């Protein structure tokens, strides 16, 4: 099946689409569009600008994600005569009826007959990948005691602030996990964590059974997730919290200063599902149904494609 992924090149958009393609068992061509002014300004409502590689023959399946991709998704659906099944990830900000399928996170509250909403976002994680990465990093973490806790640190963004004061509090709480629960800590900061914040947490854990990634070499993020018996994650990334909840392991959320109604709805949904609890420096044990939006979205697209093929066969008779 000829499949395209169409985005503006942002990694977050591509990762979600790639995860769905892997779940579908298809190998996509990745198309990246970067329209200039005025097309960039008027997306998603305006027409598509000419873009290299976005030309016939049109694909059987198009997965488009991001505001800049929407004019192209509309154009391809129209020019293919409806033969291309057009799936859009994220709220397109235009009527979902212009596409065959739309996925949007539940906290966006987008409603339409062809819209699927899930609590978490699609991703590329699988149990097999996590097990393989856990085996790869085992020599690096062999000295850490159990329970092993993965700590996924994000940072400040448009709605949240990860201050140095917050880093001091988090560092003290993580040190408490080692002291009171005899936990081994596996910490991976991100580019948004901040040098000062990372240094504060590193100092708090310097005499504890902890491994904190220093930013060199390959990020052990997936290996930490696969090796952990519990996960602590900052609240600023829907993707990080969702990936943690795909493991079925207890997830503790570090709530940072700030927020927005959408993030609040997302976090409250995670708490209500039972996948996550606010982090208060404690370790508990509980179970829940792992959240796997990737397979749910892929299955919905597969059903849509099957229905499309059935209609094509009937019309050709």
Averaged pLDDT, 227-237: 97
- Residue 216: is its pLDDT beyond 70? yes
CA dist 145 and 131 (Å) reads: 19
Mean local confidence (pLDDT), 35-43 = 94
* Domain boundary assignment for the chain: 3-119+294-316, 127-278
Mean residue pLDDT across the chain: 95
pLDDT reported for residue 160: 97
* 260 Cβ contact partners less than 8 Å away, ≥ 6 residues apart: 159
- pLDDT band of residue 34 (cuts 50, 70, 90) is very high
Q: Note the pLDDT tens digit of each residue in 91-101.
A: 999 999 999 99
Look at the domain 127-278 and name its fold: Rossmann fold (3.40.50)
Q: Do domains 3-119+294-316 and 127-278 have the same CATH topology?
A: yes
Q: HSE (CB half, 13 Å, CA atoms) of 72? A: 31
What confidence category does residue 314 fall into, taking pLDDT thresholds of 50, 70 and 90?
low
- Give the model confidence (pLDDT) of 265-284 as tens digits: 999 999 999 999 999 999 99
**Which of 251, 211, 249 is CA-nearest to residue 232?**
251
Contact 288, 315 (CB under 8 A): no
pLDDT of residue 309 exceeding 90: no
Query: Average pLDDT for residues 171-200, to the nearest whole number?
Result: 97
C-alpha to C-alpha distance for 224 and 151, rounded to whole angstroms: 8
Reply yes or no on whether the pLDDT at 317 is more than 60: no
pLDDT value at 171 more than 60: yes
Task: Output DSSP code: residue 306.
Answer: H
Which pLDDT does position 12 carry in this prediction?
Answer: 87
Query: What mean pLDDT do residues 141-167 have?
Result: 97
Domain 3-119+294-316 in CATH 3.40.50: yes
User: So what's the pLDDT on residue 40?
Assistant: 93
pLDDT bracket for residue 310 (50, 70, 90): confident
What residue has token string 């697209």?
301
> Rounded CA gap, 68 and 189, in Å?
30
Q: Residue 38, preceding bond cis, omega within 30 degrees?
A: yes
Categorize the per-residue pLDDT at 312 as very low, low, confident or very high, splitting at 50, 70 and 90.
Answer: low
Q: Measuring CA to CA, how many Å separate 172 from each of 75, 180, 185, 191, 268? A: 54, 12, 13, 22, 25
Cis peptide before 57 (omega within 30 of 0): yes
Per-residue pLDDT tens digits for 100-143 = 999 999 999 999 999 999 999 999 999 999 999 999 999 999 99
What predicted TM-score, i.e. pTM, was given to this entire model?
Answer: 0.89
Burial class (CB within 10 angstroms; exposed 0-12, middle 13-18, buried 19+) of 242: buried
Label residue 308 by pLDDT band (50, 70, 90): confident
């Amino acid at each position: 099946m000829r499949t395209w992924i169409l985005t503006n090149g942002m990694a977050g958009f591509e990762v979600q689409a790639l995860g769905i393609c892997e779940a579908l068992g298809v190998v996509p061509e990745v198309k990246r569009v970067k329209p200039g002014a005025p097309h960039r300004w008027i997306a998603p409502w305006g027409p598509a600008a000419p873009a290299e590689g976005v030309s016939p023959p049109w694909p059987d399946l198009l997965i488009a994600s991001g505001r800049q991709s929407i004019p192209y998704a509309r154009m391809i659906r129209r020019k293919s005569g409806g033969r291309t099944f057009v799936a859009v990830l994220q709220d397109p900000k235009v009527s979902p009826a212009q596409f065959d399928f739309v996925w949007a996170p539940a906290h966006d509250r987008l409603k339409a007959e062809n819209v699927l909403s899930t609590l978490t976002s699609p991703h590329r994680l699988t149990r097999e990948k996590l097990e393989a990465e856990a085996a790869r990093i085992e020599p690096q973490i062999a000295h850490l005691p159990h329970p092993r806790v993965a700590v996924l640190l994000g940072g400040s963004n448009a709605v949240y602030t990860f201050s140095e004061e917050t880093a001091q509090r988090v560092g003290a709480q993580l040190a408490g996990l080692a002291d009171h629960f005899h936990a081994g800590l596996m910490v991976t900061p991100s580019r948004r964590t901040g040098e000062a914040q990372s240094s504060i947490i590193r100092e708090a854990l310097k005499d504890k059974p902890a491994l904190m990634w220093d930013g060199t070499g390959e990020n052990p993020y997936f290996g930490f997730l696969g090796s952990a018996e519990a996960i602590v994650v900052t609240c600023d990334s829907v993707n990080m919290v969702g990936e943690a909840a795909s493991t079925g392991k207890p997830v503790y959320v570090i709530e940072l200063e700030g927020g927005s109604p959408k993030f609040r709805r997302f976090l409250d949904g995670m708490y209500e599902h039972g996948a996550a609890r606010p982090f208060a420096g404690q370790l508990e044990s509980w179970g829940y149904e792992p959240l796997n939006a990737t397979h749910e979205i892929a299955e919905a697209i597969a059903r849509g494609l099957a229905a499309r093929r059935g209609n094509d066969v009937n019309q050709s008779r």
